[in-house]
A and B are shown apart, each in its own frame.
Chain A
Amino acid sequence: MTELPASLSNWLYNVVQPQYANKQLTYTHLYQFLQVHYGKNLRLRVRTSVHTSQRSGQSTLLLNIFGSIPVTTTQLSVQIQIWIPLHYPFGNRESTNTTNDDTSGVPMIYIIPDTSNGILIKPGNHVDSSGRFYHPYLSNWYHESIPSGSGSRKYNLIELMKILQASFEKDCPIMVQESSGIDSAPSLPSKVPLNGTFSQNASNTQLPAQLTGPPLPAKPQQLVSGSTSSTNEERAIPLKYQTPLPLPPISQYIGQPNAITPQGTGVASQTPTGQYMQLQSPPQEFVGVHSPRSYSSPTYSNSVVNSPPSHTPIQVHQNYNSSPRQPHASTTSSPMVNKTASFSNSNQNSFIDLIDEDRGSSSVVSSSASNEVKSLILENISKRMSSEAKDFSLVMSNKQKIEALYQQLSYHHKQAVANSTNLESHVKYISQQKASITQLNNELVSLEESNTSESKLVYTSTNNSIPLDELITPDSALVNQLYEVVSEIKATKDTIDLIGGNFRSEGELIKDSNMETAVRTVRTLAREMFWLELMKNEIAGIMNLS
């Protein structure tokens, strides 16, 4: 797939945005379709054009894909047009009329015959005489392609194109008109005053018989006279009321070529349908030209009809395409046919809505003009709405941006306020801690002075103090007792040494005056020391000390 030109994608967006119901899906399908086929082998292109509904007659500006599909089996190229309805691809589910083309959402496909080159429509299983393409794929489209489902994967334009190609390869919907067969047809009466119109076939008084009875023989003179004597009032009848209504299904005609009865009103019977009823071609004339199926229903094909001399000499190519409608060219040499061909050639490239067209009537011209005015107004409104769509998208974009900005600002503002509150609590907490530590430091300063001045106490606070001796405590009571015993032994030794004059550099304390007292004291001290030593050894034994 290739990228589409920006101008094309922008144009597509501007067309889809204001009108189509499912904008995004329609745009996506068309974009993908063009990526596959735009400028490729099929040379399919897209445009907008006014589509006139077959059912409601309402004109709508729709997207139109047109181009040709080559058919390898016949070496022909089938020109097609695909109309994209406004409710593509799901249809208007709220509408009660689900079979209406306008609301079904199913693309409408038409085969466009190139009559200038003798290419005619060959009705078949999938194509009717008007060139409308039918297929089970299209029939299932509305029912299976629902907004909530995955139908868009199966029902899209790319898949549709594959269906079309496969169908055309199997049964080519067009055929080439062979000149030999036409040339070999009996010559037509030369006197056919056509007046450039198609309504010279029958008079009003003949219509009921044609509608109900078997085919009547052709009456060329009456036709001619009827045509030439038609009044302005008769001309004022729009062509869409002179053209035949859609024909019944082909199955009704197979094997009964002469039993065709036009459906519709008496007015409709004034149309060339009456000619078809009278201008049944001999079957052998179609051999080699049409397929057997086409031969079985020659009138249904609406192709070139050669009439035998005994029938009406008028040869008319009638095309019932709803839109666009192009009269078929003819290669016969009949003046009537030539006139028809020239008419076709002059209009073969224009899109003429024959339904709304009349010949020579001012009121019908007015109707055609009205349609043209309507389509121009619609185009201008579409342009206006396209520019409005840009502004609208800008408004919506700004709305989203503003909403996002507001959400972000609100969030950040709340976060900032919460952060400020949190910081405030932190500031208070650290201020309290600072005050507390300042007070404690002041107390420590006063304690330092007290501890410096006091040698036997350690102040832990202003009111509490610990005696210095109690700073160190023995591990257990037995150890404490051992310390006491050892200290007393050492103190006893110091006392005995002092009395005997062996304590450091001190002189002896024994004198003649206190000899007896000193000896008795030393004896007592020695006896106590003995018991203390005994106690020490016992404690050491308990503590397993060596």
Chain B
Amino acid sequence: MEHSTLRLPSVEELKPFPLPKQLSTLPEHVLREFSQSYELVNGYVQSLPQFKGYQEVVVQELNQQIHKINVCCELLNEYSEVAERIKNQTQSLNSSYGEWTNLETIQYQLLSANFNQESLKKKFEKHLNETNQQSYDEIKKFKNSSQSESDFADFVENFRKQRKTYHSKKEKMNRWNEERVTGFV
């Protein structure tokens, strides 16, 4: 139904006159009573075809309104379901986010344990001390040997190589402490 058809008819459009024969042929006093009675005129109005047509249009409009209200009710039910689903999704999201935050903390701790600069320095320093100790072990080893000329030459060469390694690592360690180095760190 178009909106333009839903219109309150004017009195002229109702075309109440001329009165139908059933009324116009009534005696004058009866017709006068009829005209003075609101209920009777109301009944006459309701019998007019134009008014009936108007009422049909209004009924159609009301049916459409009822249909739309029912659609609204269905929408409300669907909306409730969607709202419940959103609620569950939000709870799931919050829970997952909490877990993810915890895992991130653990990850940070593990990364720190594996690749923290201080721990790497300690590890490097430990390795440096091991190298230093190896040179002392070499001395002990030479002193406990027969100390022949050939052994002496080999010992000097090995000892010098180990000390070179040691001093090289120590120099790096010093520079590292001074933060004058590059590399993995």
Contact = CB atoms under 8 A, between A and B. Distances in A.
Given A18-B8, A392-B58, A437-B100, A491 B153 contact: no
Contacts of A398: 65
A361 to B, nearest CB: 14
B167 interface: yes
A419 B175 CA distance: 57
A521 B11 contact: no
Interface centre among B37, B44, B183 (most CB of A within 10 A): B183
Given A392-B58, A395-B58, A413-B82, A366 B28 contact: yes
A444 B164 contact: no
Interface in B81-133: 82-83, 85-86, 89-90, 92-93, 96-97, 99-100, 103-104, 106-107, 110-111, 113-115, 120, 123-124, 126-127, 130
A527 to B, nearest CB: 14
Contact of B183 (A472, A486, A521): A472
A324 to B, nearest CB: 21
A419 B28 CA distance: 74
A106 B71 CA distance: 48
A495 B103 contact: no
Contacts of A483: 168, 171-172
Contacts of B17: 374, 377
A431 B6 CA distance: 56
Contact of B139 (A405, A413, A491, A506): A506
Contact of B11 (A381, A426, A513, A525): A381
Q: How big is chain A's contact interface, by range?
A: 35 or more
Q: How big is chain B's contact interface, by range?
A: 35 or more
Interface stretch (A32-40, A205-213, A259-267, A462-470): A462-470
Given A381-B45, A434-B99, A475-B181, A86 B12 contact: yes
A342 interface: no
Interface in B159-185: 159-169, 171-173, 175-176, 180-185
A441 B106 contact: yes
- Secondary structure of the B contact surface, majority rule: helix
Contacts of A20: 10
A434 B79 CA distance: 31
Contacts of B69: 402
Interface string A486-508: 11101110110011000000100
B166 to A, nearest CB: 8
A385 B31 CA distance: 21
Given A437-B100, A514-B152, A381 B16 contact: yes
Contact of A409 (B79, B161, B181): B79
B14 A472 contact: no
Interface string B135-150: 1000100100001010
Nearest to A482: B171
A456 interface: yes
B110 A492 contact: no
Given A61-B11, A385-B8, A395-B65, 11 more contacts: A20-B10, A384-B41, A426-B93, A434-B96, A469-B169, A470-B183, A473-B182, A475-B182, A487-B165, A495-B159, A521-B156
